[in-house]
A and B are shown apart, each in its own frame.
Chain A
Amino acid sequence: MSTVDGTRIAEIVSKHESSLLTDWLKLQLAGGYTKYDEKELRDRSRQFLSSFRKAAQSGEVDNIDGSDWGEVRDMLGELSRTRARQGSSPSETATFVLSLKQPIFNQLRDEYRDDADGLGRQTWLVTVLLDKLGLYTTELHQKAREEIISRQQQEMLELSTPVVALWDGILALPLIGTLDSARTQVVMESLLERIVETSASIAIIDITGVPTVDTLVAQHLLKTVAAARLMGTDCIISGIRPQIAQTIVHLGVELGQVITKATLADAFRIALQKSNLTVCKVTAGA
């Protein structure tokens, strides 16, 4: 039965394609989605209608996972991804599909003017079909969003772990943000790699930008220090704020023999001293 009904939908869509398109576009634009280019919207809508018609012609309106709906699914996927990137909300994206209901219902009403039973059945079919497509769009939108988030996380991870050479053989690692195990791994790897590259003998880990130091963060820091030491590089931890010093003691964290300094400047002074270097003021007229 659904086969017959599906073909009927396709028939109606193909018969009234242009007027459906006009009504639909009007609805979409009235919905306040002016941030999309009207021409682009028109192209997309036309494209969607034609692939929708083709898919409906095949008859399977109760199964949008079928191969007949592949083209429609691809189109919606593309749309969801583009809109997610443009920052649309999921409901805005789903409205693209759902707003097609009203124009189709209007056409159905005209077609089935004398057949209440047929009208009811067709309306229900179209509703279910468009709801499914709408939900599919939302799902894809969500997925695209998640992809964006995970990519940004990755980017942040890479951005936030620079290793800077302060002097010959002295590296600084300014840490910004919370340290979790994934980040510690990245921090450790990039520090150790730079140590090999520059053959630095002293590394300063500056934790001014780390908001809190709990036992876990401290453990991560100590791991990094231990790994650097195994490679023959001494580490100095600097940028310990008064608040953090208190927390460290309250938590009973043992920093062992690691040298700790309040500021990066202090740490740098120690590093110079250890490398037998000195900074002196140039006296005028000398």
Chain B
Amino acid sequence: MERIPILKIGDHLLVSIQVDMHDRLALALQDDLTERIVKHHARGVLIDISALELVDSFIGRMLGNIAAMSRVLDAQTVVVGMRPAVAITLVELGISLPGVKTALNVEKGIELLRGAIQTQKPGDGSHQQL
């Protein structure tokens, strides 16, 4: 069965969706990603959907779910590179992914993640020292 590759870059995981998403692939991605976050102690997850042309409500919800799961595992999720048509579709479907951070491209996404993690650090600084 085909799988979506998850790449590790430093503290972050990069998921680049290059094929059409179908439901089973999405569910497999959920499993893989949560496992990898735990394994690599990732602090941030970048999901690049710039090649994704079609979305439905399931895929939309799945993006929200992945973000929520990552947050539970203490990793920030940024969805990057959403196409205009996809954005319009999701909004029309009533899925505006409230808890998900977004960026225009991977570069900006990494910037955003770094910023977010840095501002987080002072808060749990004691945690780090332990």
Other-chain residue from A199, A201, A230 in contact with B87 (beta carbon distance below 8 A): A230
* A229–B102 touching, CB < 8 Å: yes
- The closest CB in chain B to the CB of A169 belongs to B104
Chain B residues in 8 Å Cβ range of A196: 83-84, 104
Residues 71 to 105 of chain A near chain B (Cβ within 8 Å): none
* B102–A226 touching, CB < 8 Å: no
Which one of B84, B86, B102 has the highest number of Cβ atoms from chain A below 10 Å of its Cβ?
Answer: B84
The CA-CA distance from A196 to B92 in the complex, in Å, is 20
Least distance between A267 CB and chain B CB atoms (Å): 20
- Indicate whether B96 reaches chain A with its CB closer than 8 angstroms: yes
Which one of B79, B88, B109 has the highest number of Cβ atoms from chain A below 10 Å of its Cβ?
Answer: B88
Least distance between A219 CB and chain B CB atoms (Å): 11
Other-chain residue from A201, A223, A226, A227 in contact with B104 (beta carbon distance below 8 A): A201
Chain A residues in 8 Å Cβ range of B73: none
Residues 215 to 246 of chain A near chain B (Cβ within 8 Å): 223, 226-233
The CA-CA distance from A201 to B79 in the complex, in Å, is 14
Total chain A interface residues with beta-carbon distance under 8 A? 19
* B104–A228 touching, CB < 8 Å: no
Chain A residues in 8 Å Cβ range of B90: 227, 230
Chain B residues in 8 Å Cβ range of A199: 104-105, 108
- Indicate whether A158 reaches chain B with its CB closer than 8 angstroms: no
Chain A residues in 8 Å Cβ range of B105: 199, 232
- Indicate whether A270 reaches chain B with its CB closer than 8 angstroms: no
* B84–A193 touching, CB < 8 Å: yes
Contact with A along B96-107 (1 / 0, CB 8 A): 110000111100
* B91–A231 touching, CB < 8 Å: no
* B104–A233 touching, CB < 8 Å: yes
- Indicate whether A189 reaches chain B with its CB closer than 8 angstroms: yes
* A227–B108 touching, CB < 8 Å: no
* B84–A232 touching, CB < 8 Å: no
- Indicate whether B82 reaches chain A with its CB closer than 8 angstroms: yes
Other-chain residue from A185, A200, A230 in contact with B82 (beta carbon distance below 8 A): A230
* B96–A231 touching, CB < 8 Å: no
The CA-CA distance from A229 to B78 in the complex, in Å, is 12
Chain B residues in 8 Å Cβ range of A192: 84, 87-88
Contact with B along A151-175 (1 / 0, CB 8 A): 0000000000000000000000000
- Indicate whether B66 reaches chain A with its CB closer than 8 angstroms: no
* A231–B108 touching, CB < 8 Å: no
Contact with B along A168-197 (1 / 0, CB 8 A): 000000000000000001001100110110
Chain A residues in 8 Å Cβ range of B79: 230, 232
The CA-CA distance from A233 to B104 in the complex, in Å, is 7
* B91–A232 touching, CB < 8 Å: no
The CA-CA distance from A76 to B96 in the complex, in Å, is 55
The CA-CA distance from A189 to B89 in the complex, in Å, is 11
The CA-CA distance from A236 to B41 in the complex, in Å, is 36
Residues 61 to 120 of chain B near chain A (Cβ within 8 Å): 79-80, 82-84, 86-88, 90-92, 96-97, 102-105, 108-109
- The closest CB in chain B to the CB of A188 belongs to B88
- The closest CB in chain A to the CB of B112 belongs to A232
Chain A residues in 8 Å Cβ range of B88: 185, 188-189, 192, 227
* B96–A230 touching, CB < 8 Å: yes
Other-chain residue from B91, B108, B109 in contact with A230 (beta carbon distance below 8 A): B91
Which chain A residues have a beta carbon within 8 Å of chain B's beta carbons? 185, 188-189, 192-193, 195-196, 199-201, 223, 226-233
Jot down 16 A-B pairs with beta carbons below 8 A, ordered by A.
A185-B88, A189-B84, A192-B84, A199-B104, A200-B104, A227-B84, A227-B87, A227-B88, A227-B90, A230-B91, A230-B97, A230-B102, A231-B102, A231-B104, A232-B108, A232-B109
Which chain B residues have a beta carbon within 8 Å of chain A's beta carbons? 79-80, 82-84, 86-88, 90-92, 96-97, 102-105, 108-109
Q: Which 3 A-B pairs have the closest CB atoms?
A: A192-B84, A232-B103, A232-B102
